[in-house]
Amino acid sequence: MASPVLLKISQAATLTEEERAAISSLIVQTVAAPAGEDIVLQGETPQFSTVLLEGLAYRYCTLPDGRRAVVSFQIAGDWVDLHSLFLDRMDHSIGAVSACLVGKAPHAAVHALVKRYPHLGLAFWRDTTMDSAIMRQWLVNATARDARARMAHVFCEMQLRQQGIGQADDTGFDFPVTQVLLADAVGISVVHANRILQQLKADGLLEFARGHAVIHDLPALWRVAEFDPSYLRLDRGVDAAGA
């Protein structure tokens, strides 16, 4: 079975047939989430970890006064809340951007798996580390770059990540978000997001409309974003330094 979960984790670690089977058996249930619906809610105490099998999702925090901060996008193959294994209550929510299919793995089963196969524990751990690396880039983005570079950065990252699962090429990709969502991810107002997008288009870099990004000049886009893709390729798998 070529599930996106196994595909992704296989890029990080060499798995035995037994280990692959063990991972597959983790997912005891698959659930469909319609576009716009929440998959996991802030404040919950989940007993499952969730992996995205299909679709686009986003992680976000809701602030007391209703503002929303998007902290990441998740694509097929991503564990969206593996870290909830250690969280007493979710400190953020996860929503479905497009219609999603998710798999659920009971926390207890994940714990048991890790104890039985420490090697898989490392692989999972590595997966969350990769997520952190992405988040660190977002943080650098938000603290040190202006709106234009930040916006460009989001598109650079999504292009490369989606390419990694065969859903993008150098000329563009589907990205079914609204400008409101994009604004909340970049940390600017919708009005400003709209103007930045127009500017990127006028500069011949990127055209984004109706949930689809057309990239006109990827190298130039990378330059504007100061994009360094190395953070997306943590080249050292879990086997490298092990035994």
Partner DNA sequence: CGCATCATTGAACAAAATCAAGCGAGGTGG
Partner DNA sequence: CCACCTCGCTTGATTTTGTTCAATGATGCG
Which positions touch DNA (CB under 7 A)?
146-148, 178-180, 187-192, 194-195, 197-198, 209-210
Q: Could you give the CA distance from residue 26 to residue 59 in angstroms, rounded to a whole number?
A: 23
Site for a second copy in 41-60 (CB under 8 A): none
Separation CA 116–CA 7 (nearest Å): 21
Q: How far is the CB of 119 from DNA (least distance, A)?
A: 43
Which residue, 14 or 189, has its beta carbon nearer to DNA? Answer: 189
Nearer to a second copy, 48 or 175 (CB): 48
- Which residues have a Cβ under 8 Å from the Cβ of 33 and sit 6 or more positions away? 39, 55, 57, 96, 99, 100, 101, 102
Please give the Cα distance from 68 to 184 (Å, whole number).
6
- Using an 8 Å Cβ cutoff, are 104 and 32 in contact? no
153 interacts with, out of a second copy, DNA, none, CB within 5 to 8 A per kind:
none
Residue 96 CA from chain centroid, whole number: 12
Q: What letter represents residue 5's amino acid?
A: V
Contact 170, 156 (CB under 8 A): no
Give me the least distance between CB of 173 and a second copy, in Å please: 23
| Nearest to 58, CA basis, from 89, 91, 93, 25 | 93
Cβ 176 to DNA shortest distance, Å: 9
The residue (of 14 and 132) whose beta carbon lies closer to a second copy is: 132
Name residue, tokens 């650098």: 140
Residue found by looking up tokens 């802030």 in the block: 42
Least distance to DNA from the beta carbon of 143, Å? 9
Binding-site member from 186, 197, 213, 215 for a second copy (CB under 8 A): 186
CA atoms within 13 A of residue 82's CA, in its CB half-sphere: 24
Does the footprint of a second copy cover residue 146 (CB under 8 A)?
no
Residues 106 to 135 in contact with a second copy, rule: CB under 8 A: 107-108, 111-112, 114-116, 118-119, 121-122, 124-126, 128-133, 135
CB of residue 67 to DNA, shortest distance in Å: 9
Residues 187-206 that bind a second copy (CB under 8 A): 187
* Three-class secondary structure of residue 4 per DSSP: helix
Q: Which does 192 bind (CB under 5 to 8 A by kind): DNA, a second copy, none?
A: DNA
Rg (the chain; Cα; Å): 18
The footprint of a second copy (CB under 8 A) covers: 61, 63-64, 67-71, 83, 85-89, 91-92, 107-108, 111-112, 114-116, 118-119, 121-122, 124-126, 128-133, 135-140, 142-145, 184-187, 226, 230-231, 233-236, 238, 241-243
